[in-house]
Structure 1
Amino acid sequence: MQENFNIRLVCIYGDPYHVRTNDIWADVLDFVLLDDSPLFCMGDLNELLDGTEKLSCHAPNFNRISSFRNIIHNCGLIDLGYNGPAYTWTNRRFSSNPTFQRLDRCLANATWCNNFPNTNIYHLPIIYGDHAPILAIPLSNCVKRKRNFKFENW
């Protein structure tokens, strides 16, 4: 890893009503494509990347999930995963219809992943409000385990 270089940080608050989502991500795409320096993106994106990121009596919107996956792919971003609780948001209706979702996340480009391969993301417990704080440690001493790829031909 080289000692002196620029990094770019993108902090996003996604549209909770999903009206301006495409506009927000068009701006992000313009910024992402400026150069190939390490880029770290985090925030309350207000979108799911997978149906398993929602626990509720209401089904996730799979059209929005597909669209969000395409946006992330077009921006060349990678979800950095997490340690800790699976969900980062709750509607706090614990006695009636509780909903839990992973709306907050950290993404990065390949250059970030190459320069900061031990970046660790932690979802902290939801104590105040309805979102979990996220702690990102780019220069962690904890080395990520490489997961073995397994394929079974059915």
Structure 2
Amino acid sequence: MKIATWNVRGVGNARFCLNVQDLINAYGSDILVILEPRISGNHAEHVIGQVKLPRHFRVDPIGLSNGTWVLWDDRKCNVDVVWAIKQSVTMIIKVHSSSQSTSWLFSAIYASPILHKRMHLWTHLKNVASEFNMPWLVMGDFNELLHTMDKLGGCPLIASHVHAFNDCLNHCGLFDLATNGPYCIWTNKNWDWRRHITEKLDKAFINSE
């Protein structure tokens, strides 16, 4: 079972569907999460229909903010969405296998860049942890930092923000998954070294189940 998340910051580019299909082909993604699509309604349905994953669930953006699409191959798994808010879609994944069928919880995250809204997300995740007792993957764009090494350049980390995020993870029993490839992948795209900032905002966590 392979899952990919991609913060596209808008799917208006004419090459979007080709790029998505390249991603699916390259990594064999069975579930694909698109964050910040910035389109909704019939336009969203038209674009989703061009992606070669037969099933989907979407939370539309508010203007140009938020928005989450979850697309999946129903030959590989069943996806049952159990809790959806603007910053998170939580679903039970049942994987099809010739030998057995396994179920686990998956929360796709697009955390708000606004602090008080992120605090609502941390509370929501604590509620999810209290409601379900099963293997849990939490993955996406958290718009928050955990360690000093998660940021290069710019202002230092704000301790109270880091503490609130850590408190949520500890309450939920979530552990950071190791990553491959570039560590900090978000950038402010200012290539003047005095103003250049890179951050690790995309993360994945699992519980001990």
TM-score normalised by the chain length of structure 1: 0.66
Equivalent residue letter for 2:178: G
- Separation in structure 2 between the aligned mates of residue 34 and residue 57 of structure 1, nearest angstrom: 39
1:54 aligned to 151, 161, 166, which one? 151
2:161 aligned to 57, 64, 69, which one? 64
Equivalent residue letter for 1:52: M
Residue 14 of structure 1 aligns with which residue? 111
Q: Could you give the per-residue CA deviations for residues 5-56 of structure 1, whole angstroms, max 9, x where no partner exists?
A: 3111101111102121121121122112223211101010011111111001
- Runs of 4 or more off by more than 3 Å in structure 1? none
Counterparts of 1:5-154 in structure 2, within 5 Å, are 5-95=102-192, 97-111=195-209
Report the identity percentage.
26
Q: Could you give the per-residue CA deviations for residues 60-117 of structure 1, whole angstroms, max 9, x where no partner exists?
A: 2122112211111011111112111110211111126111010110011111xxxxxx
Q: Counting strand residues as a fraction of each chain, which structure ranks higher?
A: 2
1:92 counterpart SS class: coil
Gaps of 5+ in 1: 112-154
Which fold has the larger relative contact order, with Cα–Cα distance below 8 Å and residues 6 or more apart in sequence? 1
- Separation in structure 2 between the aligned mates of residue 3 and residue 36 of structure 1, nearest angstrom: 20
Equivalent residue letter for 2:156: A
- Separation in structure 2 between the aligned mates of residue 22 and residue 52 of structure 1, nearest angstrom: 23
Number of matched residues?
110
Equivalent residue letter for 1:104: D
| Alpha carbons 2:125, 2:168 under 8 Å: kept | no
Q: Counting helix residues as a fraction of each chain, which structure ranks higher?
A: 2
Equivalent residue letter for 2:108: C
Equivalent residue letter for 2:146: L
TM-score normalised by the chain length of structure 2: 0.50
| Alpha carbons 1:51, 1:62 under 8 Å: kept | no
Equivalent residue letter for 1:101: E
| Alpha carbons 1:78, 1:108 under 8 Å: kept | yes
